[in-house]
Copies of this chain bind each other. A is one copy, B any other.
């Protein structure tokens, strides 16, 4: 009988300084790509074996793209034909011991010379376990595939009932959170309702389908400019999305979403895109953590340590210009990763490190066909077709592999001319644990 305890990290010994990077997101890959030199041994630990371009994850959920279009295997990016003494391990990190300079993982410990925490964020349910149990998060590839299968199961079942109450509940979609994920998901659903669903499901009256976007603050896309928020709201309303501002979802039992103040929406689908929190790891002192993120100085060194760094979303670098830290998008992670690789090389040579200064390249969101908003540096705000083209270009260019760019581009060109999403395949069993109609269906009829 084989034993799981025979697993270990199995990293070769080295005389070079060992850099351990936790996380293969934008921060992690950008620092690792530029440590491609003989001065370090680099170990990357992640629970996923791929780097993902998460701004496009909602497209996987709404049947626009398959996962391979937005995710690139980390081992492919860091193959031994390109990188020397680089070691990836698919493993969960339990914690860190800064005194012993050790990382603890589920299969053993690893000593580091330099530790880089690039763990990013995870979904924040704000302590609401009922919502956590019954809603659909949208942070990882399996989440997106689950949601995709669920959406089309809702439409299938809406075509299989003559009961108006049940059908309405299957055709109500509540998206909580008016950030980019929520806005883009709502927009994609509205496009689908207009161009695809009526011919796919001729027995269903899609005038009855409702898309609710619920945001706690007084505008959508709160991190963007007021101009962008206003345009986005107008676009969403033109597309028939019901936007509820200053509205907080307090509960969801799998049947009824309750909004603070008492309003109730019967729905089988609540997408939770209301917030994220830092994916912290155990072992750092409490004073190094503020608002769920790790306090770092201008060199991304974690408060109190000169050999532990945090970059990207998990890092909280207070500056005069960004007193609440940098925005939770890819650019700060990319820029910090690039600088940190230079600073690590300076560090081992005894040179002075360079301070980080964020270069804001603007932000973008897409709402629908020909509808997007862009805040560009220099207080420039774009909308409509031009912003949409910019969004397409920036997002295709940001994809990692040549192949991904090609596949995504050909998908988008195809969809532009045909209005067709191609990937509406129900390939996953329904995984939400609540006793919903679909779960009853599976339990009763065992259709899996």
Contact = CB atoms under 8 A, between A and B. Distances in A.
Interface of A: 1-4, 6-10, 12, 47-50, 66-69, 71-73, 75-76, 79-81, 87, 89-92, 106-107, 141-142, 145, 152-153, 156-157, 159-163, 165-166, 169, 198-203, 255, 401-404, 406-407, 410-411, 414, 418, 420, 422-429, 436-437, 440-441, 444-445, 447
Contact of A427 (B141, B161, B441): B141
B425 A68 contact: yes
Given A4-B440, A66-B68, A447 B106 contact: yes
Contact of A141 (B7, B165, B425): B425
Count of identical protomers in the assembly: 2
Contacts of A426: 48-50, 90
Contacts of A7: 157, 160-161, 166, 437, 441
Given A141-B427, A411-B407, A425-B73, A92 B445 contact: yes
A9 B156 CA distance: 10
A318 B145 CA distance: 44
Max chain B Cβ within 10 angstroms of own Cβ: one of A10, A68, A69: A68
A441 B49 CA distance: 16
A447 B66 CA distance: 24
Given A90-B156, A411-B407, A437-B4, A67 B199 contact: no
A68 B423 contact: yes
Contacts of A47: 447
B203 A427 contact: no
B71 A161 contact: no
B441 A422 contact: no
